[in-house]
Structure 1
Amino acid sequence: MAHAHQQHQHPLPHTHTHEGSAHTHDSGATPDGLPEILDLDAALFAPHLTALTGRIACLAGDDVRHVVDLGAGTGTGAFALLEQFPTARVTAVDNSPAMLERIVATARERGLGDRVRTLEADAGAGLPGIADADLVWASASLHHLDDPATALAGIRSALRPGGLLAVAEVDGMPTFLPEDGEAGALEARCRAALAGLHAERLPHRGADWGALLTAAGFSVEQERAERWELRAPLPEGAGRYAFLVFERVRGSLGGRVGAEDLAALDRLVGGGPEDVRHRDDLVVRSTRETWTARRPA
């Protein structure tokens, strides 16, 4: 697997914000704002995440005792699944010690410390010590794998016979601006530029996971795509979420879009009247694709 934070659950490149820009001084962002983005994404789309994990719970059945969250990030998926399975324990797998420490701290805060353990591992190289999982959840993590076939074979062996693998992927950066007019055109150009960046660095983004799962010996039971959308009145945190996403996009696209587009991005995070934190026309949109597949009994 290619880079240090490849398993975290978000569709943006894991780069730091660009240096020397006008907006970094007032951003309030961490050098890498990814943990906050992940937590805001989960909070804003909480009803959607609950519905998704509820569908997974229906397919997985009542006797789920061990859940594995693959590329756990800040643990948003792990905690959502613990709500669905009140007697289960979860193993959060990530290759970032900082992310795993954060999950442990959150578990303690929520009184779930005895139900959460962590495993620092590269999911592409197998899941050492796991052979009894009832459910593996992989949200926006599989597209980071260098060799999906090898990784899926490792996941299959970590599942018990009859166990379930739930894969969730996003179709690119979320969008926020009105779709008609120049703002929407800017966002479309940014998405296209990011797609080009991902094609170079993450060749399995957008892969046909249904076919890959079948080839790996899984039986695909459900496949669906959903457009998650939030309109005014937006939940608290939507402007901050948009700001952090655009800040990250701006830090990734130097040299990949024109100077006018970079200047427009600077205005979206610059603290002035066009800053996304001050706009009242935001609509938060994100398309999630999910596949649910079973290891044959």
Structure 2
Amino acid sequence: MSAHQHGQHQHGHQHQHGPGQVPAADLDWDALAAHLEREAELRADAVTAAGQWLSGLAGDGTVRRVLDVGAGPGVIAQQLAAVLPAAEVVAVDRSAALLERARTRSGGRLGIQQADLPAEFDKLGEADLIWSGNAIHHLGDQQAALTALAGRLRPGGLLAVAESGLPPRFLPRDFGLGRPGFQARLDAAHEDGFAAMRAELPDATEEVEDWPAMLRRAGLEPSGTRTFLVDHPAPLARPVREYLHTQLVRRHDQLAEAIDPRDRATLEALIDEDAPTGILRRPDAFYLSAMTVHTGRKA
């Protein structure tokens, strides 16, 4: 399961990189590797803080094996390994190319395991901590996926699911192009596309996304939910601008026919690489989001 997360991808989204109207199985996750790495790197501080919180929840010294399910190129798995240096950390994904990238960028620190989820949950082995970042929403039956992951936990182990949170904001409400409120309308179109993507997944099942309740139904005791801020203020560094530019190009490809012509013109102005009003050059561009992590413990 390749991020989304990547049922295939970890970093996408919260909707930190969303699937738009393209079914996850139809995306070329390998080709998106550099974009996925940059996306995860934007969240490095938030993931480190989450990892420290999870280490405290689990109890120091009790975490021997960690699975990052839907690890993509392994950026988050590497951050978890830094927080938990005594643990074996294993990046799990369906993409051999992304896993090789994870092995290379970690200098061999990470274990890697190729698995086509949800069919091969039983290949994962047991773990004391399982992290799944924005991957569960790419599987048709989210409750069944949580139950399967809960079954991989050792007694007392933790399942940490990074889902929901807040969509990114990167410009003021009124930024001088088109009608104010552009991002809210783009988010609405994206949510419609996301619903369409989920409806097309194998074994698609409608689910009220109350993650603590879902963890309880998976046989776990909810053990806390926390939200971690992802904050890159203006003026943005070039890598963050390039990430946003790629995101907006993807949104244009996915949503151009679904949005108002005026908003389409605004989007096209933002992805213009040479214009001073484009996202690559604007002085008012920032990146602000929030990652919510839900946890459950096996009795």
* TM-score of the aligned structures, taking structure 1 as reference length: 0.84
1:160 Cα offset (Å): 0.7
1:157 Cα offset (Å): 1.7
SS in 1 for 2:169: coil
Partner in structure 1 of residue 35 of structure 2: 37
Partner in structure 2 of residue 202 of structure 1: 198
Counterpart contact for 1:223–1:292, Cα < 8 Å:
yes
Partner in structure 1 of residue 145 of structure 2: 151
Letter in 2 for 1:148: Q
How do 1:195-234 residues align onto structure 2 when only pairs under 5 Å count? 195-202=191-198, 207-234=209-236
Letter in 1 for 2:19: P
1:139 Cα offset (Å): 0.4
Partner in structure 2 of residue 25 of structure 1: none
279, 283, 288: which one aligns with 2:286: 283
131, 139, 142: which one aligns with 2:136: 142
Counterpart contact for 2:21–2:197, Cα < 8 Å:
no
How do 1:1-297 residues align onto structure 2 when only pairs under 5 Å count? 5=6, 6-11=8-13, 12-13=18-19, 34-61=32-59, 62-108=61-107, 113=108, 115-171=109-165, 173-180=167-174, 182=178, 185-202=181-198, 207-271=209-273, 272-296=275-299
SS in 1 for 2:196: helix
SS in 2 for 1:174: strand
Distance 1:194 1:123 in 2: 25
Counterpart contact for 1:132–1:159, Cα < 8 Å:
yes
* TM-score of the aligned structures, taking structure 2 as reference length: 0.83
Evaluate the alpha carbon distance shift between residue 205 and residue 269 of structure 1 in structure 2; reply closer, same or farther with a 3 A threshold.
farther
Number of positions where the alignment pairs a residue of Structure 1 with one of Structure 2: 276
1:213 Cα offset (Å): 0.6
Segments of structure 1 that go 5 or more residues without pairing to the other structure are 17-29
Q: Which deviations, in whole Å up to 9, do the C-alpha atoms of 1:58-84 show, x marking residues without a partner? A: 112222111100000111210011001
Q: Which deviations, in whole Å up to 9, do the C-alpha atoms of 1:118-150 show, x marking residues without a partner? A: 222233224233332011000011111111222
Distance 1:54 1:262 in 2: 42
Letter in 1 for 2:282: R
Q: Which deviations, in whole Å up to 9, do the C-alpha atoms of 1:76-115 show, x marking residues without a partner? A: 210011001112112211112221121122122xxxx1x4
**Superposition RMSD on alpha carbons, in Å?**
2.6
